[in-house]
Amino acid sequence: MMRIKDIIWPVIPALLLILAGPRQAAATIYSYTDANGVIHFSNVPSNPLYRPRGGLPRGMSRESRYDNNIREAASFFNLDPLLVKAVIKKESDCNPYAISAKGAVGLMQLMPGTARDMKVSNPYDPRENIFGGCRYLKKLSRLFNGNLDLILASYNAGLDRVLSTGTIPDISETRHYIRMVRHYYLTYQRDR
């Protein structure tokens, strides 16, 4: 016997696209299945369990999806776009709805206070988040005269920790973070 849920669920993603109108027709639909087996759909996921349904457009990887925003923000703040992309890869794995256990949000994992200071009103908006993260990276770059390790250490462990000692904090997570961002950065440079 067929249940109404079995009939309705398959058409919900298409229905959401129709209701969103022509401007939103290319929006990504996200879903997750809860512990009771219920499938939840959203075009603006609020839960980190949501995952995109289907694939990205042909030839576009998760890592290239925000390249235009990255280039625009990096150019505006005179940063290397490949470094910004490497930070995004390590911070959120290119997920604009990522939320850390400490409350950092979005592609560049901005803490609420940092987002406010960097003039980001909606940290889930990819463009706004990238601009806020780039603004913060530029601030750190000026403070540390372009020293990449200190910039990245501050981005990960907090500015006050790095300013208090003038060195990379002895935190294994921060040291790993720096290694991984440098790894992604070199990979992107090599693949350029």
Strands (E), 43-183: 51-52
Residues with catalytic function: 91
d(CA 150, CA 166): 8
The answer to whether 114 and 136 have CB atoms below 8 angstroms apart is: yes
The overall longest dimension of the chain from CA atoms, in Å, is 69
Element (H, E) at 32: strand 30-33
Distance CA 107, CA 109 (A): 6
What are the structure tokens assigned to 46, written together?
Answer: 């609020």
